[in-house]
Chains A and B, each alone.
Chain A
């Protein structure tokens, strides 16, 4: 939310150096926008030179498939960030997404193991995700709790329910759908890779190219103006949490196929997902969260991890690199976005 605009600050204080500062900012913004893509390309070029196997169709397909679960979750988070505003503390955030995925996967695997077919298990997993989204929406819009706290609380509840359901054990599951999802599709590319691309395209079409999506941005960036224009701000905010919950359910099914059932430790997915969604802003023209930006960011992180592995560099470095990236990106976007609010 942009509600933190310091109106009280005298405007005149900024005037003398304003033109030069504005130019500098514009230049910096340009560098950040073009630079992020340039860094992406540079990373690809570097890895493809250093590890000849990197730029093969098979490997690219693998990276896409490996990014599918985090990608779908990050896209869900992106929608919440769009509707709630990109202030990391007071804006839209859904910390329950990773736990949601864990519980949805557990529900799917439990039902599949109990002999229910794919239709029941899929519907139950999606319903689980949506239900968690509804709880989040209620906590934020009805109870008025800050999303950061509301979803943190829901995250713990969901993780607890998952523990009760699974007894912290692995629940193996094998169904026709899971087999189809974990298979290799056309051109030797895993089916999960296609799922990610199709899912991202569908959500991007809705969010970036429909009036609903436009209003979602309006609600997040200028809630006061949106309210004045007669938009039901709270309803949009609530809807974003429900959609994000649905994404958690979808990711749960993908995760069940990837891990041949439900396994413990879904919570560890949270940080990579938040990183991916926040990093996504640098891959958009206006430095705002977009679905395509998030997709690019998911792939960027995926290629980094993959490249590290192919170069035989310790994977323990990867989370450090992710943390460093998020620090750079969040500070850069914060610095660059501040003047726009004046």
Chain B
């Protein structure tokens, strides 16, 4: 019986792998033109003023990417004009407005809600300033440096499905569908789960919030655990980033429900530490390489200003950290 189920799971997984390969081929086709980061030493930003705008620097990801951009502009001989909106949309728009008025040689926008920033990215473009983005798929951006969020979403979903044996209830945090990378990761989860009819996403889905994400996730998961008190009634908790995962994991440990596994994305050091802890419910976290993303975006600016044509998207590989390989991944990220 068990073996049968395993076989069935295997078959399904094989099927999924096939579809994943298909997806990878399509993704690969769109990757044509994206080149790995080589020959950075030939690049120069001498005498160039580069606007660097970020939605915030309060998460590991943002801070790493932001600092790496500033350092890379300086390393290439340019002058960074760096502004940090502190996760406030109004401030973000004000800063973009002032940046545009200063007419820098290029603007790189890191994260931000697309509908809010897009009109201002368009204004920058209309003012003749090249706009590049990191993790924002704007039509007004000449190039978007990003992790392959389709791949991230698929890898995380497959790990989840595999860990819970293809059946059970899962809790999903879906608070920021307006943020493109979160939307892609969520859609990939749904795409994968679709082929496993015994997996149910508990409705209504939870909304993660900013700020106080950890405390809020803790409270929400505690409430859910009270609603589903039986062990095994929930198999996993998924979130599009790993800060709600942190709160959820803490709530599970506090309630003694460590049989439930948690999943997230971003590779925050504190979450990777939990993944490394064999007793923690944190099962997997896909780590992006934020500093590499920041450097790549600035090198793309230098390429653009040197007259090169940029691909629409430049993908920086993401690393899936699970209980088995977390040490290796942390080492690669330089936080091991």
Contacts and interface: CB of A to CB of B under 8 A. Distances in A.
B207 A168 contact: yes
Nearest to B80: A312
A116 interface: no
A167 B94 CA distance: 25
A172 B91 CA distance: 17
A165 to B, nearest CB: 13
A261 B98 contact: no
Given A268-B88, A315-B95, A263 B116 contact: yes
Interface stretch (A38-46, A81-89, A252-260): A252-260
B94 A305 contact: yes
B19 interface: no
B89 A169 contact: no
Contacts of B84: 314-316
Interface string B128-170: 0000000000000000000000000000000000000000000
Contacts of B102: 53, 310
A265 interface: yes
B175 A169 contact: yes
A66 interface: yes
B33 interface: no
Contacts of A59: 98, 101
A170 interface: yes
Contacts of A264: 89, 209-210
Nearest to A190: B97
Contacts of A269: 90
A260 B116 contact: yes
A69 B101 contact: no
Given A258-B93, A260-B119, A62 B101 contact: yes
Interface in B172-216: 175-178, 207, 209-210
Given A169-B178, A263-B113, A312-B82, A62 B98 contact: yes
Given A260-B116, A263-B116, A315 B175 contact: no
A169 B113 CA distance: 10
Contacts of A58: 101
A309 interface: yes
B2 interface: no
Interface string B96-108: 0110011000000
A237 B102 CA distance: 45
A69 B90 contact: yes
B118 A260 contact: yes
Contacts of A265: 87-89, 210
A36 interface: no
Contact of B115 (A62, A65, A172, A315): A172
B333 interface: no
A259 B90 contact: yes
7 contacts: A62-B94, A69-B90, A170-B115, A255-B90, A259-B93, A310-B102, A312-B81
Interface of B: 81-91, 93-95, 97-98, 101-102, 113, 115-116, 118-119, 175-178, 207, 209-210
Given A169-B207, A260-B116, 12 more contacts: A53-B101, A59-B101, A66-B98, A167-B207, A168-B175, A259-B93, A260-B119, A265-B210, A268-B88, A315-B84, A315-B85, A315-B86
